Every structure is written in C-alpha cells, then in structure tokens.
Amino acid sequence: MEEPESFYQNIFASLADGVLIVSADLKIVKVNQAAEEIFQHSRSSLEGEHLSKLFPDQPNLLEKVVQSITAETSYHHVEGIGCRKSNNSRFLSNLTFSPLIKSHNKTTTAVILIQDTNFLKELQETSQQSDHLSTLSVLATGMAHEIRNPLSGIRGSAQLLLKDLKNFDQREYMEIVIEEVDRIDRLVKKMMDLTRPALKDFKQTNIHQVLEEILILEKETLERKGGAFIQTYDPSLPTIEANKDELKQAFLNLIKNAVEASPKGGQVHILTLYNNDYAFRKKQDTLSPNSIIVKIIDSGPGMTDATIKKLFTPFFTTKKRGTGLGMAVSLKIIENHQGKIKIVSKEKIGTVVQVFFPVNK
C-alpha cells in the first residue's frame, strides 16, 4: 500500500539531524526543521541560497557534493565548518552526502545530512555530569543512614556535657563540637537532595514571581556589600509547568553564588527573555521549540575553563566553607524540568549563568 505524501513529509520534518536538499548548481532546494535550528534561520531564507553561504571557504566540501550528484556516490563522516546566519558564528559538523535518485533514475539533487557536533559535545558533557549525580545518589542513600544515626548520639551527648561544664574554655570547645556536628548534618541533608526522586507536582508557574521571592531574601546580603540587583524582565514571558519550591531552591543556589562572587559595589543582573533561538518561522510550523531563558550575570572574578568543567561535579568547590553540592542540586532540578544550564565566564570580568526551559506552544 502506497503511503500518502504527508507521511514522508512528516518523517522529513521529524528528523533530529539537519537535512538539506541541494541541486546540481549547489542551490538549497529544501530544508527540514532541524536544519533551521542548526543554522538559526527560517527555511524561507535558507531555500534558494548557495551552499557556500552555509559552508564558506570549503571548496573540497562543495566538490564532494557535486561528485555525489554526478557520480551518484555517497560520502560519510565528512567534517565541515558551518556558519550560522544569525550571528556568523562557526560550528563543527559531521556531514553525509547522498545522491537523491528519482523514479526515472536520473540524479539531479543531493541529500546532505548534518550533525552539529558542538551540540553533541554539550549533550555528552551534560550526560557525564548526570552520571556523576547518579553515582552519588547511590552512595548518599547508604551513607545518610549510617552517618545521621551516630551524629544524633554525638550531638545529644555533647549537649548533656555542655550543661555540666563550668570552665569557659571547655564550654567553648564543646560548642564547637556541636556546631561541627550540625555542619555535617547539613551536608548529609544536601546529599539527600540529590537522592530524592524527581517531584512531578508541576503547576503553571510564573518564573518572575520565583525570582522576585529569592531576590527579597538575598537583597540585604548584596546591599551590605554596597551592591544591588538589576532586573530586566521580558513581560511576554509565558508561565511554565514547574514545581515552584524546587525552582526556588535551584535559583537560590545560583543567585547566592552570584552575590558571593560580586565585589564591593558590584551589581547582579537578572535578565529574562522569551527566545525561539532563530528567525521567525511560518505559522504552520507548530512544533517550533521555543524557550524561556533566565540569565544571572555577576561582575565577580570569573572562572577558568577548567573550573567550569568541574562546576557540577559533586563536592567540587572554590569556597573555603562550601560543600560543593549546590550546583549539582541545581543541575538536577533544572534537568528534572527538561531544562539546561550553560555557564559562560571570563577571569576578571565575571560570569553569566544561563538557564533554559522549553515551552511547548
């Protein structure tokens, strides 16, 4: 039974990799939705363009496309450097060229399959970070019960001894014991945050309300340093399906870090925007992946690339009394909401934390 044409159009539109149909004169005939996302431009502006505009200064690559059509030959795993039209940024890509053979056995076009390897690398790094959290979850579950029970005994005994001690120095030492026991208990509780299953009590949530509630808590701390928050909110931001309490915990960790990193008199900029990541599409493209973006920008000392790579690793911290679990917990919560965190930082300039949440229209 012959499938309707719409069936094949749906397959073409649903492919996760970018697809370009290119004519013999290397003009782009057709693109799929993934290719729009990769090149960050609408199909109406891509169709009719010469392939060299998307892969500039690469004559060998263009020659392979021509050979694919004329000699009806396929080429796999061809490395190319694509150019995003929106900002002229470059990205590494893995390409496959195949001749498109029509029913009358004459080849006049080629199919180019495109994988954005920069994006794949980011996914692999995020996956590795999630693996760290998964391993820690197994470890933390067992440790929590083994540690907290004797901790309760130590704290209770220390409190009883403190009541009987008259010597000032001895009382001071015992208070330190109790304080350190409480610190270990807080650390174990944070570890337990990584082991909790993802909460699914999602409701329509206003991201601006979440941020404002956190800024009220952190405003005094920043003002003591002579600093201030600057909010730039996009009023068109839609609500998202989320667990408000969990989002507050995630953003509280991120904003606290920005406040602590800020120098005296420094500002922390909280910015939100509604983004579709590339040019506007046609109305019928109902599957366009839109996103809410929250940026937390500080003017602190910044971080090296090596530090950024370890930032979500449990127990890694650059603070004297930090636990190294705040960022790991935030990552877990954001990923539970199908979101993503991206960090951009430069030493002596500051750090930009970007949090992305998908919005299905």
Residue closest to 18 by CA, chosen among 39, 49, 48:
39
Which sequence spans correspond to the domains of the chain? Answer: 5-121, 122-195, 203-359
- Could you give the residue ranges of the DSSP H alpha helices within the chain? 5-14, 33-39, 43-46, 51-54, 59-70, 117-164, 168-195, 207-224, 244-261, 305-310, 326-336
pLDDT of the residue at 261: 92
pLDDT of the residue at 288: 40
Q: Is domain 5-121 classified as CATH 3.30.450.20? A: yes
pLDDT of the residue at 28: 92
pLDDT tens for 292-311 read: 899 999 999 999 888 888 88
Q: Check whether 282 has a pLDDT greater than 50.
A: no
CB-count exposure of residue 303 (10 Å: 0-12, 13-18, 19+): buried
pTM: 0.56
The two structure tokens encoding residue 315: 């127990």
Q: Check whether 144 has a pLDDT greater than 90.
A: no
pLDDT of the residue at 128: 57
Cα–Cα distance for residue pair 308/341, rounded to 1 Å: 12
Cα–Cα distance for residue pair 98/67, rounded to 1 Å: 10
pLDDT confidence of 280, banded at 50, 70, 90?
Answer: very low
203-359 in CATH: which number? 3.30.565.10
**With contact defined as beta carbons under 8 Å apart, do 317 and 324 qualify?**
yes
Beta bridge partners of 293: 273, 356
Q: Class assignment of domain 122-195?
A: mainly alpha
Instruction: Give the list of residues 6+ apart from residue 17 with CB closer than 8 angstroms, or none.
Output: 34, 113, 114, 115
